[in-house]
Amino acid sequence: MSTKSILIIDDEIIIRKGLSAFLETYGYEISEAESAEDAENILMKNQFDLAVVDMRLPGITGEEFILKVYNDYPNMKFIIYTGSREYLTPEPLKNTGITQEDIFTKPVSDISLLVNRINTLLT
Amino acid sequence: MRMKKLLFIILMFTGTIITSFASEKNYSVLLINSYHQGYKWTDDVTRGIKNVLSHNRNITLSIEYLDSKRFSTESYYTKIKTVLHHKVKYSHYDAVICADNNAFQFVIDHRDTLFKNLPIVFCGINYFSPKSIKGIQNITGVNEDADFEKNFKLIFRLHPATEKIICITDTTVTGKIVRKEILKMKNNFTKKAEIQIVDNLSMEELQLLLKKQPPNTVILYALFLKDSKGVFYEFDESVKIISQSTNLPIYGTWDFSLGSGIVGGYLTSGYYQGTTAASIVLKIAAGEKADRIPIEMTSPKKYMFDYLQLQKHGIKENELPLSNIIVRRPDSFYEKNKIFVWNIIISFSLLIMIIVALILNIIKKNNAEMSLNEARKYLYDIINSMPSLLITIGTDYKIKNSNNKVSQVTGYSSEELLEMEIQKIIPELENITPFIDKVFKTGENTQIEELKINFSGKQYILMMNLYKLSFTDKDEIAIRADDITEFYNQNIQIQKLQNLLHNVTDSVSAKLIAIDSKMNIMLWNKSSEIETAIEEKNALNKNLFHLLPRLSDYAELFHNSIENSTFKQINKLTSFTGTEPRYEEVKISPLISSEMKGAVILINDITTKIKLDEMVIQSEKMLSLGGMAAGMAHEINNPLAGIMQSAQFLKIAVSPEFEKNIITAEKLDLKLEKIQEYMNLRKMTEMINIIMDSGERAANIVRNMLRFSRKSTQNFKNINIVDLLNNTLKLAVNDYDLKENYDFKKIKINKLYENNLPIIPGFESELQQVFFNILKNGAQAIFNNGNIEKPEISISVSMINQLIQIEIFNNGPAIPEEIRKRIFEPFFTTKKVGKGTGLGLSVSYYIITENHKGEMSVESGMNQGVKFIIKLPIKQDSNI
């Protein structure tokens, strides 16, 4: 089994660093982007199995980004990692296959739950 | 039967009287005179006796004369004795009177032979000595003496210029006693005049002596029966001779000298000797013992004068002592024609009286007629000046009499009104005929309070009084009618005003109360009645503070307001009905009228307003907080996420579970176990946990805060509130944080759920959070604060006004007002730092009021009991 790659898109470096360290420990290959635009650039060079997306991003929002990327990479999975509590999946995103279980609100008390979800999505 | 008895008694009584009269009829008195008939003294005595005894018809008087002036020999007396003996033997005597000394001596001498046991009464005994009757029984009588002292005084009174008094007496036994008596009192008068006693002169010598006397000499003649030559003179003889020989005034001592030349004097009288003796006899005849009757020692005397002598000596009658007797007064015409004169006088008097009576009668009649006329005028005046209509009517309802007012009003003259039927004047009067009939029948006064009539196009209200005439024999009744239209209208006006006042005051939803200066109720509107359940009639004149005790703390304020005429207000008066507080606003407006002191009190229930105000404030706080929280949450969440992720990473970074860790450790020749051991020993692991916990706590706060800004994208679900409550209770019982020892199982749970409650739209988890919060708070209050003996939580659900009302009550300690007000404020907590976020109730409040558009409030009792009230709408606008 080849190493899965994950793109973390968050404007907060502390979120990106902590999460990437965590996921690396679990054996994933991590790339980071500090905005949707930055992530788009990275996607042009590399392919990713999964993206952890913050919703509130400077410039293009997380939602817009997912919709855009989903069109280009329909096999790509998404985890929404947002600061908004009780975030409900917007209707357009439901078509991308994102469910409530793929949504995590910051701060996550037990990150292993998020890792478990990622594991599930990528197997 | 009774009549017969009475008659018998009367007969018996009259019988007794008759018998007693019969026994008196036989009383026979024997009078023995010393001298003969025709002798003045003896006749006077006899007359006196007869006069007295003749008053009693039952006494018979027999008179004997000893005639001792003319016969006085022993043999004569023997013969007299024989005669009397004969008389005594054949006729019965009951008493004996002996007049003068000789008869007295004769009776004493022959007491046993002639008058044995007979009572003896004597009189005419000169200078009687009690010795003379010593040893004699059944005897009494009258002394005879002369009063010289009074006569001397009389002389000085009538003749103040008297220089000498010559007292004439003789040498007889009596004469000698007289001399002694004069000598006895002579010295009392010698200062005034010379007093000479003459007793041993012949008549010629005496006459000569008197002729020589100076003018201011007065003669007092006592006795002169025998002169020095042995010549005897009769009683009246010597004084006649003496008076003829002198012009000097002569006074006497015995009445037999009166008319023989003496002026008069205080005279001893034979007549009165007789009357006195006879009076004693009457007493004896009446049954008194003679010995028991004292001897009359003061011989009866009178002031007596000779009219001619008074004239002669120029003595006026008014100078004389009172109660005098004047003799020899010449008879007047009146005396001569006494009966004629009296006839004339009486006739004239009668005539004059009749004339006067007639005149008086005429005057009286005139006066009576005049006053009758006047009274009539006066009465007419009274009746005609009356503002009332006054008529009298007969049983035919026809007018018999009327006053001027009736004519004024009707336009008919009183003559025209006469015999007119009342209905003809005013048809409505037909209605009063039953009353008239009743008054005629019963004679009782009747009043018709209101009678409406139409007269000359206007309506009038009359008050009528009907009364039977009672002082004449006329079969009529009087009707007095008064126009009370104005009064009636005023009354209606007053009634209307009163109604308006009541209507206005009762329409005020607040309690409107008027009080006087003594705090007594004058007005009590409907709202006051409803709230206190005291009717106005029972509240009137009662003390305000008795009826509304919650105002009594402000008594001073009320007094001040009335005293100083200033408006006062109590902004928030708090009182309790159970756990439900009531807030009132009290406005005290003093009466502005100067006539009466008092105040109008307006009490407004502002409980709802206060609660609303509280809620508005609360909501505003929530909303402003919501906005802030929304902004903050993201900003805080990111660093929080950084902290928590990093901390969690630190934990897994040394875990041997991960390949990466093992490889990295091997590269550095470290053993992961040792690293873990080190971290444990240096408490790094613990610190990492603390970082995670702290982060978790902070995350929780933010999570809660974010609820304030939540935009509901969720849809309402159908919720059975009863099921939800029961589930929450189970959760509370099982999930409770036992560390804190709030043993929920010890609390008695009461459930009061109304049946058939509707399913309501809501957010289940949110509502559960709210209920859980309230239950938890209640339990904490019960166990933390004080010892509640029987802890209780009561939950009731009911539907009120299309709202589901959930009340959760705990009997824990009360919440003070200041805390209660802030209880829904975010971060407000009474718990120790760290034990609560202070957001539970504020979040609950937000959930109910914002997310469910419901209401949430809390009530607290004075000491115990807290009740949370949640009201949820049964329908929600889905566009929210």
Is A107 in Cβ contact with B649 (below 8 Å)? Answer: no
| Residue A40, pLDDT score | 92
Kindly state whether A113 is in contact with chain B, defined as any CB-CB distance less than 8 angstroms: no
Kindly state whether A14 is in contact with chain B, defined as any CB-CB distance less than 8 angstroms: yes
Q: In the predicted model, what is the mean pLDDT of residues B767-792?
A: 80
pLDDT digits 0-9 by tens, B301-311: 999 999 888 88
Most confident of the ranges B68-77, B93-102, B734-743: B93-102
Residue of A nearest to B694 (CA): A109
B395: three-class secondary structure by DSSP: coil
Kindly state whether A100 is in contact with chain B, defined as any CB-CB distance less than 8 angstroms: no
The band of B20, judged by pLDDT with boundaries at 50, 70 and 90, is: very low
Is A86 in Cβ contact with B652 (below 8 Å)? Answer: no
Is B645 in Cβ contact with A19 (below 8 Å)? Answer: yes
| Residue A86, pLDDT score | 59
Is 0.90 exceeded by the ipTM?
no
Residue of B nearest to A16 (CA): B642
Is B713 in Cβ contact with A18 (below 8 Å)? Answer: no
Contacts of B710 in chain A (CB under 8 A): 85-86
The band of B457, judged by pLDDT with boundaries at 50, 70 and 90, is: confident
Taking the CA of residue B804 and the nearest CA in chain A, the distance in Å comes to 27
In whole angstroms, what is the distance from residue B576 CA to residue B1 CA?
95
Kindly state whether A1 is in contact with chain B, defined as any CB-CB distance less than 8 angstroms: no
The band of B797, judged by pLDDT with boundaries at 50, 70 and 90, is: very high
Inter-residue contact B601 to B513 (CB < 8 Å): yes
Inter-residue contact A25 to B649 (CB < 8 Å): yes
Closest Cβ–Cβ partner in A84, A88, A109 for B699: A109
Taking the CA of residue B847 and the nearest CA in chain A, the distance in Å comes to 15
The band of B851, judged by pLDDT with boundaries at 50, 70 and 90, is: confident
Is B638 in Cβ contact with A25 (below 8 Å)? Answer: no
Burial class (CB in 10 A: 0-12, 13-18, 19+), B722: middle
Q: In the predicted model, what is the mean pLDDT of residues B222-241?
A: 85
Closest Cβ–Cβ partner in B637, B692, B710 for A86: B710
Kindly state whether A26 is in contact with chain B, defined as any CB-CB distance less than 8 angstroms: yes
Vertex B288 angle, CA B283 and B293, to 5°: 75
Tell me B749's DSSP state: E
The band of B14, judged by pLDDT with boundaries at 50, 70 and 90, is: very low
pLDDT digits 0-9 by tens, B537-572: 899 999 999 988 889 889 999 999 998 889 999 988
pLDDT digits 0-9 by tens, A16-31: 998 999 899 988 999 9
Q: Which of B239-243, B337-341, B730-734 has the lowest mean pLDDT?
A: B730-734
Closest Cβ–Cβ partner in A24, A106, A112 for B640: A106
Neighbours of B374 (CB within 10 A): 10
Contacts of B702 in chain A (CB under 8 A): 85
Q: How far apart are the first and last CA of chain B?
A: 126
In whole angstroms, what is the distance from residue B730 CA to residue B749 CA?
11
Identify the CA nearest to B466 among candidates B492, B440, B491: B440
Structure tokens at B153: 């005084």
Closest Cβ–Cβ partner in A86, A106, A112 for B641: A106
Q: In the predicted model, what is the mean pLDDT of residues B705-726?
A: 74
Residue of B nearest to A90 (CA): B713
In whole angstroms, what is the distance from residue B335 CA to residue B330 CA?
9
Inter-residue contact B270 to B256 (CB < 8 Å): yes
Pick the more confident residue, B579 or B671.
B671
pLDDT digits 0-9 by tens, B271-284: 999 999 999 999 99
Chain A interface test: which of B640, B648, B693, B707 (most A C-beta within 10 Å): B648
Residue B736 pLDDT more than 60? no
Is B652 in Cβ contact with A25 (below 8 Å)? Answer: yes
Inter-residue contact B253 to B304 (CB < 8 Å): no
Residue B776 pLDDT more than 90? no
Residue B696 pLDDT more than 90? no
The band of B173, judged by pLDDT with boundaries at 50, 70 and 90, is: confident
Q: Helix B607-653 and helix A111-121: axis angle, to 10°?
A: 70
Torsion, CA B426, CA B427, CA B432, CA B433, rounded to 10? 110
Provide the percentage of residues in chain B whose pLDDT is more than 90: 18
| Residue B521, pLDDT score | 93
The band of B22, judged by pLDDT with boundaries at 50, 70 and 90, is: very low
| Residue B629, pLDDT score | 67
- CA B68 to chain CA centroid, nearest Å: 91
Buried b (16+ CB within 10 A) or exposed e, B837-869: bbbbbbbbbbbbbbbbebbbbbbbbeeebbbbb
Residue B420 pLDDT more than 90? no
B875: three-class secondary structure by DSSP: coil
Inter-residue contact B67 to B36 (CB < 8 Å): yes
Taking the CA of residue A86 and the nearest CA in chain B, the distance in Å comes to 8
Mean pLDDT of chain A: 88
Is A84 in Cβ contact with B634 (below 8 Å)? Answer: yes
Kindly state whether A84 is in contact with chain B, defined as any CB-CB distance less than 8 angstroms: yes
Torsion over CA: B640, B643, B646, B648 (sign):
negative
Q: What are phi and psi of B622, to 5 degrees?
A: -60, -45
Buried b (16+ CB within 10 A) or exposed e, B578-598: ebebebbbbbbbbbeeeeeeb
Residue of B nearest to A26 (CA): B658
Mean pLDDT of chain B: 84
Pick the more confident residue, B493 or B69.
B493
pLDDT digits 0-9 by tens, A40-64: 999 999 999 999 999 888 889 888 9
Residue B3 pLDDT more than 60? no
Is A26 in Cβ contact with B637 (below 8 Å)? Answer: no
Query: What is the reported pTM?
Result: 0.37
Residue B237 pLDDT more than 70? yes
Closest Cβ–Cβ partner in A12, A21, A56 for B649: A21
Helix or strand holding residue B532 (H, E): helix B526-532
| Residue B878, pLDDT score | 55
Residue A114 pLDDT more than 60? yes
pLDDT digits 0-9 by tens, B305-330: 998 888 888 888 888 888 888 888 87
Kindly state whether A44 is in contact with chain B, defined as any CB-CB distance less than 8 angstroms: no
Residue B573 pLDDT more than 50? yes
Structure tokens at B397: 């309802």
Is B644 in Cβ contact with A22 (below 8 Å)? Answer: no
Closest Cβ–Cβ partner in B645, B648, B706 for A15: B645
Residue of B nearest to A23 (CA): B649
Taking the CA of residue A84 and the nearest CA in chain B, the distance in Å comes to 7
Q: How far apart are the first and last CA of chain A?
A: 10
Q: In the predicted model, what is the mean pLDDT of residues B610-618?
A: 73
Inter-residue contact A19 to A31 (CB < 8 Å): no
Contacts of B638 in chain A (CB under 8 A): 12, 14-15, 83, 106
The band of B880, judged by pLDDT with boundaries at 50, 70 and 90, is: very low
| Residue B713, pLDDT score | 52
Strand partners, B251: B220, B264
Kindly state whether A87 is in contact with chain B, defined as any CB-CB distance less than 8 angstroms: no
| Residue B18, pLDDT score | 43
Residue B390 pLDDT more than 70? yes
Kindly state whether A85 is in contact with chain B, defined as any CB-CB distance less than 8 angstroms: yes
